[in-house]
């Protein structure tokens, strides 16, 4: 291919000087199909970094779904008032440079986007090869970089001269070359003027080049869970992309990325608002393979409607279970034997456990029903079948749900349920910041000073413990200290059998409340409240509240003993 600067000595200056580096302008977006030649500028923009305008290098997709080069990420700073999860890479963050977002992102949420990196790498390789081919010497064009004001006939607000080049290989190849040279600002348009060939030649060059690029990258746009084209692609913190529905399926079984086994930080109830789709992949698919995408969406729709009716979750109205905790059940009623057998035979081994509601406390839209509306999906780990058909089953809590509709199937309850998950880690952090930042931070204050004190001080435990403004980590330490004290005092509810069944007291604030609620002798309706809480901080606060109550009761009990 040929490349000659055209009477413009300043043509080689970097586009960085033109593009305001602190606030990338959002791409003029169109989600419709793109024509190889007419939309060449727009197609090349898909490969450009909104920040530096060069073709994306090591692209990183942010939690807001926008992508930019790794080296174009803003400098990170320490994020204050966060104690959970507080891993090193979450304590560092930066303000999102995209005007549509402007949120704080944790560095740990921003890995190189594996799919985009691969796709754009292939595009570059293919274009490098094409530039040396015979075709690429055809289709000579003059390219003029113009902002949208100039194109609309309004005098440009920037008085720099426009950058102009004569390049060959058709519009697509030439515009990409302009971007590679740093002469095409992300938000600028290009005026193409054919020099030697007829327009027809250029269009056929662009058409066949785009086909080559699509063929070369097609396999990279398949999801590794469903092996089909990405449908509503979502990129995880580890940089791997899956269909949104496939992430739901992954999270039903595990919280690890199926490719790299790192923990997924996306809440599985992922609404598009909480976890926006990967915008660049969405644009690539809708712009460059609209037919394949439409066929994929149609197939997914059919698959969904072929699924069992909407009341597809078997429900056992019995007791309170918690995620990650075991529940042991003795199954003797014939209807539940049938239910369990079906769960085992289907290979899915799951059913929902909901708490009996004898007082018929109103459950939202469900009304005064005989069960509580929040439950836990249980996975059958072990089953011991007795000769008379009864069985003992050991289950483990997988995830929480809320019942939307319910009915009866062969005597047992079935329901349409909605999975309940915690808010995202980013929202959790924001919550902690908002709840702890105005509190006076008294680092010397220790919960134990107040509640661990022997009763003969003659004063009731001080209520100054500001549970509402304590950090997640302080609450966790407060709870853990209570368990240690109770253990030292050989509290009967912490018998070794309890540890054998439920394991050691977890230090993870996300897990502790489930364990605590499983072992603490307090009312089930009180513990039930945990199931509807979607923040680690709120659940810990509830546990700490129980402890505070217990401790003050114990204190008065002891005080009375001393008094007599």
Give contact residues for Zn ion (rule: CB under 5 A): 49, 51-52, 62, 64, 69, 72, 96, 101, 223, 225-226, 238, 240, 243, 246, 257, 259-260
Closest CA to 296 of 245, 241, 258: 245
* Least distance to Zn ion, CB of residue 103, Å: 5
Answer yes or no: are the C-beta atoms of 336 and 344 closer than 8 Å.
no
Strand, helix or coil for residue 375: strand
- Residue 101 CB, nearest approach to Zn ion (Å): 3
User: In angstroms, rounded to a whole number, what is the distance separating the alpha carbons of residues 505 and 560?
Assistant: 31
Q: Print burial letters for 217-228: b (CB count within 10 Å at least 16), e (below 16).
A: beebbebeebeb
Q: Which is nearer to Zn ion, 62 or 414 (CB)?
A: 62
Burial of 286 (0-12, 13-18, 19+ CB in 10 A): middle
Say if residues 256 and 269 touch (Cβ distance below 8 Å): no
Least distance CB 240 / Zn ion (angstroms): 4
Three-state secondary-structure class, residue 7: coil
Q: Count other C-beta atoms under 10 Å from residue 3's C-beta.
A: 14
- Comparison of 50 and 375: residue with beta carbon closer to Zn ion: 50
Residue 424 CB, nearest approach to Zn ion (Å): 13
SS (H, E, C) 128-196: HHHHCCCHHHCCCEEEEEECHHHHCCCCCCCCCCCCEEEECCCHHHHHHHHHHCCCCCCCCEEEEEECC
Nearer to Zn ion (CB atom), residue 300 or residue 404: 300
Pick the closer one to Zn ion by CB: 44 or 380: 44
Nearer to Zn ion, 61 or 144 (CB): 61
3-state DSSP assignment of residue 386? coil
| Smallest separation (angstroms) from Zn ion to the CB of 72 | 3
In the complex, the smallest distance separating the C-beta of residue 16 from Zn ion, rounded to whole angstroms, is: 9
How far, in Å, CA of 189 to CA of 11, rounded? 16
Report strand pairing: 350-356 vs 313-318.
parallel
Supply the minimum distance, in Å, between the C-beta of residue 211 and Zn ion.
25
Closest CB 427 distance from Zn ion, rounded Å: 14
Helices (H), 225-268: 244-253
Nearer to Zn ion, 2 or 29 (CB): 29
Nearer to Zn ion, 190 or 229 (CB): 229
- Under DSSP, the state recorded for 79 is P
Measured from the CB atom, is 52 or 517 closer to Zn ion? 52
DSSP H or E segment with residue 117: helix 114-131
Contact 400, 376 (CB under 8 A): yes
CB nearer to Zn ion: give 235 or 391. Answer: 235
Shortest separation between residue 34's beta carbon and Zn ion, angstroms = 22
């Amino acid at each position: 291919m040929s490349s000659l600067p055209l009477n413009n000595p300043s043509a080689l200056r970097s586009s960085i000087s033109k593009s305001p580096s602190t606030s990338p302008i959002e791409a003029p977006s169109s989600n419709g199909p793109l024509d190889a030649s007419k939309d060449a500028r727009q197609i090349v923009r898909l490969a450009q970094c909104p920040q530096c305008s060069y073709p994306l290098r090591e692209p990183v997709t942010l939690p807001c779904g926008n992508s930019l080069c790794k080296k174009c990420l803003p400098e990170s700073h320490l994020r204050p008032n966060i104690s959970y999860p507080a891993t090193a890479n979450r304590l560092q963050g930066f303000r999102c440079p995209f005007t549509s977002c402007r949120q704080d992102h944790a560095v740990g949420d921003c890995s190189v986007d594996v799919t985009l990196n691969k796709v754009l790498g292939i595009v570059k390789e293919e274009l490098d090869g094409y530039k040396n081919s015979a075709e690429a010497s055809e289709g000579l064009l003059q390219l003029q970089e113009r902002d949208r004001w100039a194109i609309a006939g309004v005098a440009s607000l920037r008085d720099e001269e426009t950058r102009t080049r004569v390049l060959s290989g058709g519009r697509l190849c030439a515009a990409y070359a302009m971007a590679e040279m740093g002469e095409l600002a992300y938000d600028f348009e290009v005026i193409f003027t054919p020099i030697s060939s007829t327009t027809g030649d250029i269009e056929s060059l662009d058409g066949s080049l785009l086909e080559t690029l699509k063929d070369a990258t097609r396999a990279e746009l398949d999801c590794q869970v469903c092996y089909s084209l990405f449908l509503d692609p979502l990129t995880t913190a580890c940089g791997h992309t899956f269909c949104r529905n496939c992430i739901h399926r992954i999270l039903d079984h595990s919280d690890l990325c199926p490719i790299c086994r790192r923990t997924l930080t996306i809440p599985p109830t992922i609404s598009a608002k909480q976890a926006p789709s990967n915008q660049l992949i969405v644009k690539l698919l809708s712009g460059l393979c609209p037919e394949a995408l439409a066929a994929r969406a149609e197939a997914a729709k059919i698959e969904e409607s072929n699924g069992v009716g909407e009341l597809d979750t078997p429900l056992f109205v019995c007791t309170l279970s918690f995620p990650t905790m075991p529940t042991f059940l003795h199954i003797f009623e014939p209807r539940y034997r049938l239910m369990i057998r079906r769960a085992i035979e289907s290979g899915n081994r799951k059913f929902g456990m909901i708490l009996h509601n004898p007082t018929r406390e109103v459950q939202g839209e469900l009304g005064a029903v005989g069960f509580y509306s929040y439950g836990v999906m249980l996975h059958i780990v072990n089953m011991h079948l007795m000769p008379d058909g009864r069985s003992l089953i050991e289950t483990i809590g997988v995830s929480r749900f809320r019942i939307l509709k319910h009915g009866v199937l062969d005597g047992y309850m079935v329901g349409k349920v909605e999975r309940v998950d915690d808010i995202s880690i980013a929202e959790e952090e924001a919550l902690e910041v908002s709840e702890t930042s105005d509190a006076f931070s008294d680092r010397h204050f220790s919960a134990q000073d107040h509640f661990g004190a022997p009763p003969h001080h003659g004063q009731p435990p001080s209520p100054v413990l500001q549970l509402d403004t304590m950090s997640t980590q302080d609450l966790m330490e407060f709870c853990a200290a209570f368990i240690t004290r109770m253990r030292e005092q050989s509290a009967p509810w912490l018998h070794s059998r309890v540890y054998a069944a439920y394991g050691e007291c977890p230090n993870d604030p996300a897990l502790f409340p489930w364990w605590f609620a499983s072992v603490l002798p307090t009312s089930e309706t009180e513990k039930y409240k945990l199931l509807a809480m979607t923040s680690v901080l709120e659940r810990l606060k509830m546990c700490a509240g129980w402890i505070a109550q217990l401790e003050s009761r114990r204190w008065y009990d002891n005080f009375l003993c001393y008094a007599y």
